[in-house]
Amino acid sequence: MQIARSHVLICGGTGCLSNNSMKLKDRLEEKLAELGIKDEIKIIMTGCFGLCAEGPIVVVYPEGSMYSRVSLKDIDTIAEEHLLKGRIVENLLITNRGEAYDEEGHQVENTDFFKRQKRVALRNCGRIDPENIDEYIAYDGYKALGKVLSEMTPQEVIDVVSASGLRGRGGAGFPTGKKWTFAAASKGDVKYVACNADEGDPGAFMDRSVLEGDPHSVLEAMAIAGYATGAHQGYIYVRAEYPTAVRRLNIAIKQAREYGLLGKNIFDSGFDFDIEIRLGAGAFVCGEETALMNSIEGKRGEPRPRPPFPAVKGIFGKPSMLNNVETYANICPIILNGAEWFASMGTEKSKGTKVFAVGGNINNTGLVEIEMGTPLREVIYDIGGGIPDGKKFKAAQTGGPSGGCIPASLIDTPMTYDDLSAIGSMMGSGGLIVMDEDNCMVDIAKFFLGFTVDESCGKCPPCRIGTKRMLEILEKITDGRGELEDIDKLEKLAKNIKASALCGLGQTAPNPILSTLRYFRDEYIAHVVDKKCPAGVCKKLIQIKINKDLCKSCGICAKTCPVACIRGEKKVPYEIDQTKCLKCGACLEKCPFKAIYKES
Amino acid sequence: MKSLAELAELRQKSLDKMNMRNTDTRERIVVGMATCGIAAGARPVMNTFVEEVNKRHLGDVSVGMTGCMGMCALEPMVDVYDADGTKTTYIHMTPEKAKRVVAEHIVNGQPVEEFTITAKDQNNA
């Protein structure tokens, strides 16, 4: 076999795949064959690099040059210039915004986006080929499992996990060591461990990225969890909407079985462990642990009352333990580097790092992994690159439909479990949606409520009926029919649902309302009393108008309007027929003279 | 998989194939691969370096390419950057010479004086 002199890593995460990175690979293969250097260059499809906004990403080693937004034409240039002649294509490189190209700055690790991150759970994403177990093994893969099986007792494993201070990364932040202790203490000859990969928060995609970029890290950690708690069977519950993740998981399980890293008598220790995949149909409630267990058993995905807790009576009535994907992804480094190493990162009560899926109105949309306790400001401005078009930061939403928002005044809040709960938000699974001055907070609350109403399983009345009633009140407010007492009614209802719903979905569903009421009550009042939407979002409360002095009667707006409600003629300013206007805003974007505006 | 030793062996084997992705290297070998270099036979030189470095498990040595160094008559040219930044320029390289550079310079820290550009200058003087 010829040894490659250069490795080209192309991002094969879902973000870049949807940006045609597979076509880039095909094109590059063709081009290399054409240039006659096919045998010298190795092409590797990796997992997500995290910088989805700049995708598709291509990295060329040994130089470590990172190219962003690579088109089919660009890949030809990279092949001809960089790979054939060794000349780095400077104008395609990712460089720190506004900075000139420098020798080191183009390397993956030296960009602002990566420099400030600390990658533990995402350690292999974008570095290895997720479909090749050898590459995982090269970066210390399965060494933790080997160490555990040949040198440690189950209790020692649990002690290390407990001492590390790792807390569940799925949202609630329950100490992982405690969970493992309960499962290990539970009596029973058959036990199960499971992995919750039913990532459902709108805007969250870190679990998907771990499964796509480093599936073996989850398999290995599950085997370790099985050894620690006395289970021999693992289930990964993953949603069918993640086809790439499912495919790579299947490949990984097959490879691990071939190497004897799953199956009978692993590492000659007498320990047997195997993993099966269960596909979910995409119901949000199945991310709740008891609903998930029902779904694994083939039943309807509805939550069960607790107690009995899963550690006592879980999957098929047997003691079971469920951890989130990201939690598992942290296990192997903890075993290899020790509990002290992990505990040295983060804050007193929130150890280690956390992955956030940063989206919304921010420049560097993507995945970032930061040390716990990093202030939100750093995530948004230093790593995230700030808000596009110079707009003002208004709030960030964490925890998706179960979470709350962090207003601009609290932008220096350290990102930890406790600091976020204290201000009425939550860590959640790590979705971080950034909002600017053009977002209406009542509308945001309505959006999340709409989501929970759709996703409520209907088993308990507080959630089934209560969320629907809350949504109706919100709609009344955004339609301009709200009264002041509606706000009080909303708040009371929210508190009651929080106290009485059966599972986490219902108990947290009112959070978006409670937290927007807490920080943006004046916006609710503006909707109710003044019948105005300050951000100009709620359609019933705004009018789109043409400024007669600025209008040059060019007619572009009239051509753009989908309902043909704009009329005018040469030299006479155009006018919008308010009775027909849909308030879509299409004309507003197209007007070359900025003569069209929203009035609320 | 039966033992940690077996895993370690597999790990080393895979790691050798991936060392290229480590940009934090001790020594850097840069081969001039512009049209002039390629025409003079830089490609086999480059491939020899890659093979030698791999054969000897020199994980902390990178082999890269660069463009025209401006002295096309001396191609194929190769620069070796030591950890302290010292640059040694080799000229008129061949696969055989490349093997000696790896053995003497990279492994034993003794630059092969007779192949360097300074040796040529001294001969002319």
Residue A503's CATH number: 1.20.1440.230
- Number of independent structural domains in chain B: 1
Q: Rounded distance, CA A427 to CA A448, Å?
A: 16
Alpha-carbon dihedral angle through residues A544, A549, A550, A554, given to the nearest 10 degrees = 90
Rg of the Cα atoms in chain B: 16
Report chain A's mean pLDDT, rounded to a whole number. 92
Q: How many CB atoms lie within 10 A of CB B122?
A: 9
The pLDDT assigned to A106 comes to 60
Contacts of A226 (CB under 8 A, 6+ apart): A193, A232, A233, A234, A271, A273
Residue with token string 């060329």? A60
Give the contacts of A453 (CB within 8 A, at least 6 positions apart): A467, A468, A471
- Residue A1's pLDDT is 41
CA distance B113 to chain A (A): 26
- Residue B98 in any domain: the answer is yes
Give, in degrees to the nearest 5, the angle at Cα A464 between A524 and A173.
75
Domain count, chain A: 5
The verdict on a CB contact (< 8 Å) between A260 and B46 is no
CB contact under 8 A, A86 and B20: no
The answer to whether residues A170 and A316 belong to one domain is yes
Structural domain contains residue A248: yes
Q: Quick one: closest CA in B to A6, which residue?
A: B20
CA-atom Rg of chain A in angstroms? 26
Residue A197 lies in a domain: yes
Q: Please indicate, yes or no, if residue B16 is contained in any of the structural domains.
A: no
| CATH of residue B64 | 3.40.30.10
Q: Does residue B108 form part of some domain?
A: yes
**What is the predicted pLDDT for the residue at A407?**
95
User: Which residue in this structure is represented by tokens 């108990």?
Assistant: A507
Residue A454 lies in a domain: yes
Name which of B2, B13, B19, B21 to mutate to probe chain A: the one with the most chain A Cβ atoms within 10 A of its Cβ.
Answer: B21
Over the range A258-267, which residues count as b (16 or more CB within 10 Å of their CB) and which as e? ebebbeeebb
Distance between CA atoms of residues A291 and A460, nearest Å: 13
Residue A215 and residue A313 in one domain: yes
CB contact under 8 A, A3 and B62: no
Out of A418, A436, A454, pick the residue that ends a domain.
Answer: A436
**Is residue A163 located within the same domain as residue A300?**
yes
What predicted TM-score, i.e. pTM, was given to this entire model?
A: 0.88
CA-wise closest residue to A94 among A76, A107, A79: A107
Interface-testing mutation among B10, B12, B18, with chain A (most A C-beta atoms within 10 A): B18
A585: domain CATH number is 3.30.70.20
For A241-365, strand residue ranges (E) read: 263-266, 271-280, 320-324, 353-360
Question: CATH number, domain at A144?
Answer: 3.40.50.11540
**Residue A99's pLDDT is what?**
55
Q: What pLDDT was estimated at residue A103?
A: 59
Among A241, A358, A244, residue whose Cα is nearest residue A13: A244
Separation CA A71–CA A298 (nearest Å): 44
* Mean per-residue pLDDT pooled into runs of 10, chain B (125 residues): 88 81 78 86 90 84 81 89 87 93 90 86 62
CATH number, domain of A416, equals: 3.10.20.600
Q: Is A86 close to B66, i.e. CB distance below 8 A?
A: yes
Residue B34: the pLDDT is 79
The answer to whether position A15 is within a domain reads: yes
CA–CA dist A509, A24 (Å, integer): 42
For B15, nearest residue in chain A (alpha carbons): A138
Give me the residue from A62, A142, A143 closest to B63, CB to CB: A62
**pLDDT classification of A34: cutoffs 50, 70, 90:** very high
| CA–CA min distance B123, chain A (Å) | 31
Domain that holds residue B116: 25-124
A contacts of B7 (beta carbons < 8 Å): 137, 142-143, 146
* Domain finish residue from A342, A369, A392: A342
- A461: containing domain: 441-528
